[in-house]
Amino acid sequence: MPPRRPSRPAGTARRRPLIRTAGTVLAGALLCAACAGAAQAPTRPAPVASTAASTVAVPTSAPASVPRPPASPGPVVLLDPGHNGGNASDTSAINRQVPDGRGGKKACNTTGTSTDAGYAEHAFTWDLAQRVKAQLEAAGFRVALTRPDDKGVGPCVDERGAAGARAGAAAAVSLHADGAAASGRGFHVAYSSPPLNAAQSGPARTLATSLRDAMQAGNFAPANYIGKDGLDGRDDLTGLNAATVPTALVECANMRNAAEAGLVSSPEGRDRYARAITAGIRAFLHR
């Protein structure tokens, strides 16, 4: 028989032998290391919430745009749509005599001409002026008109001639259509001749030539009944005589010629005239 174990005193718990495994040792080591690290790491202050907006710029993939200085305004062009829609209703006003610029007198204005079908010159010139104005403004020009609509009377021809200077215009162009014999066809560009001032002595002729060249480039033929090669120096047109800025007058067509009457009466035809006149003005002003 094996020897008998000595008895425990009453009330004493039985002790179990302490058995250490490799896993127990490793877990203990890791726990101690963590405790040591926590003890050694410096404490950081808690972040403080701020209600103020951040002023730190956030970089982006594209550079910030730099504002451009405003573009300098383009030159002023004066457009003079010939005649007016109310001229026929007030003949006393338009027949009033005004200085013609060369020592004589001339009627304030006239009613203008029309096609055989009744399309009036004043309506043609007003519509044409709006088209040229829109094209010039799209190209950066500033545009002034000698009349605000096609319902009034006048203004007189001497006032129209002086309007370019009042507007500070670099160039002035008067828009018309002729009423010659039905056999006549083509355009012509008039300028003041002989010149009365520095603006007329050379610049007006240069403007007229630029308009003539642009009209020909637009496939419009020079007149076969007046002027020479599309140019016509005149001393009897008050609006040209009174001008102190480079000024020219474009007679776009003969409204009594059947083919040209159809052209001026159509929106497509007026667009063609407008493009050519705009091109001539831009060529003169080198823009």
Which positions are catalytic? 251
| Cβ contact 97:191 at 8 Å | no
Beta bridge partners of 107: 97
* 3-class secondary structure, 128: helix
Non-local (6+) Cβ contacts of 78 within 8 A are 143, 144, 145, 146, 163, 164, 167, 169, 171, 172, 173, 245
d(CA 128, CA 255) in angstroms, rounded, equals 14
Q: What's the token pair of residue 187?
A: 């355009």
Alpha-carbon distances of 70 from 67, 73, 99, 205, rounded to whole Å: 9, 9, 43, 34
DSSP 78-120: EEEE-S-TTGGG-HHHHT-EEE-SSSSEEES-----B-TT--B
d(CA 189, CA 181) in angstroms, rounded, equals 18
Q: What's the token pair of residue 127?
A: 């519509």
